[in-house]
Amino acid sequence: MENKISKGFASVSTPDGKYRIWMPRPTKNGHMICSCSFALKRRLPLVDAIDALPYIQVDEVREIDEDYSTMVLTCKTPPYSACLESLMEDLPELMEKHLNYQEFNLSKGE
């Protein structure tokens, strides 16, 4: 997994770079609109896994097309910068588990 932080945005990608999520710093109200280089509505187990994290909730998923979607997140408790840091730590494992598993199942026709 590749994690980067630059100019107010953090990003996490799978090792092959096929999937990437960009996360802005949370607003003063704890909101983040994350951009994804893939369709989230086809990968709802990942959305559910993120929503199950104790420090964040998924408010909305917007699918633009098969290569781009957004996810509106809200940090549950301040400090919101700690929420982003925790998400940066947890997201690689969730992406590895849910995106690679889904690809394996899709390639097998499930």
Domains of the chain, by residue range, sit at: 2-107
Domain 2-107 belongs to what topology? Aspartate Aminotransferase, domain 1 (3.90.1150)
Write the DSSP symbol of residue 66. Answer: T
The model's pLDDT over 30-51, given as tens digits with 9 standing for 90+, comes to 999 999 999 988 889 999 999 9
The model's pLDDT over 12-29, given as tens digits with 9 standing for 90+, comes to 988 888 899 999 999 999
Nearest-angstrom CA–CA distance, 27 and 107: 39
Q: Closest Cα to residue 36, out of 7, 67, 5, 57?
A: 67
| pTM: predicted TM-score of the whole model, two decimal places | 0.82
**6: confidence class by pLDDT, cuts 50, 70, 90:** low
Nearest-angstrom CA–CA distance, 70 and 23: 10
Which residues have CB under 8 Å from 69's CB, separation 6+? 35, 36, 38, 39, 40, 41, 61, 62, 63
Nearest-angstrom CA–CA distance, 34 and 11: 9
